[in-house]
Amino acid sequence: MKYKLFLFVVLFAIISSCQKTDGSKVLYLAHTLPQTHPVHKGIVEFQKALERKSKGTLKAKIFPDAQLGSEREVLELLQIGSVAATKVSAATLSNFVPEYHMFGIPYLFRDKQHMFEVLEGPIGKSVLEKGSKFWLRGLCYYDAGSRSFYTSEKAIRTPDDLKGLKIRVMNNQMAINMVNALGGSATPLSYGELYTAIQQGVVDGAENNPPSFVSSNHYEISKYYTLDQHSSVPDVLLIGTKYWEKLSDEEKKWVQEAADESAQAQKVFWNESVEESMKIAREAGVEVIIPEKSLFAEKSKSVVEEFIIEFPEMASIVNQIKNQ
């Protein structure tokens, strides 16, 4: 209750301080990432494109660094119309829009090209639209890379090497099921506690993409990074339908075109960040392992089967993706 009251006061102060006297509209966009992150850089491109396309009549004001709350909290603000837009992980969004669950399926995508063919094609666009009934309209996907295992003492070269290892995962059932299926012991843990947990041996390792592996400084205490790339969960740029429905058809067109342009620019920022992160990790003495991914994919098939049992209505879409 105290948090919500505080947030109301903050939002009122923000909106009051951002009122325009030149007749322009302002789109408030909040997210949790630091300003150095490649996804934030993509959002800045959205901001620039929107102002350019609208000739300054529709502008985006960005609130990064979780200034307005966690991903879940900001999603709730979109639903009630207090904030116009946000960027969240599809994993978080799946708690609001069930269809996003399937993007967490291990080895759903063959490679990055396949992933974006799906996300930017009919299947991906249909999923973006699914959120509208929950007041969360998807605009585009951002590259959030592929998650891979890193460990402090024991190298993971095959799935068998995971046996007996405590691996930190997000508090997400599919991530837990995947690590357990591979033979590890999935350990949900707060991200903020992870550095100390690895350092003290509470967990033996974790899994994440290269920019996060380096920006968190986990590379300092993890000797091995195994690029098994078991999941590729995208980020999603969203706009609340309460805000969207107040826009004219022309304004909606500007917003969507700006989002599409930002998605393409963000891919470049992400690739640059991955390259720089891997360079830093290698120079710090981290052994980068390129395993046979098919071994991991084979052992994680049970996770897909469990997903289909839980969400039978998504079986045909999953099959379409795999066969595309």
Helices (H), 189-237: 194-199, 210-215
**CA dist 51 → 36, 60, 87, 146, 268 (Å):** 22, 8, 19, 32, 21
Residue-range domains of the chain with CATH = 2-143+234-275 (3.40.190.170), 147-232+279-323 (3.40.190.170)
Residue 126 CB neighbour total at 10 angstroms: 12
pLDDT digits (tens, 9 = 90+) for 28-66: 999 998 898 999 999 999 999 999 999 999 999 999 999
Q: What token pair was written down for 85? A: 């837009």
Q: Would the pLDDT of 217 be above 80?
A: yes
pLDDT, residue 20, reads 52
Q: Does residue 230 sit in helix, strand or coil?
A: strand
Q: Are 211 and 112 in contact (CB under 8 A)?
A: no
**Dihedral angle of Cα 32, 35, 36, 42, to the nearest 10 degrees:** 90
CA dist 267 and 263 (Å) reads 7
Scanning 104-239, the segments in alpha helix (DSSP H) are: 112-119, 122-130, 173-181, 194-199, 210-215
CA-angle at 137, arms to 229 and 254, nearest 5°: 105
Locate 61 and state its tokens: 């004001």
Contacts of residue 24, defined as CB under 8 A and 6 or more positions apart, other chains included, come to: 56, 57, 58, 59
For residues 270-278, give the mean pLDDT: 97
Helix (H) or strand (E) holding 138: strand 136-142
User: Does residue 258 contact residue 27 with C-beta atoms inside 8 Å?
Assistant: no
User: Over 90: is that where the pLDDT of 213 sits?
Assistant: yes
**Mean pLDDT taken over the chain:** 92
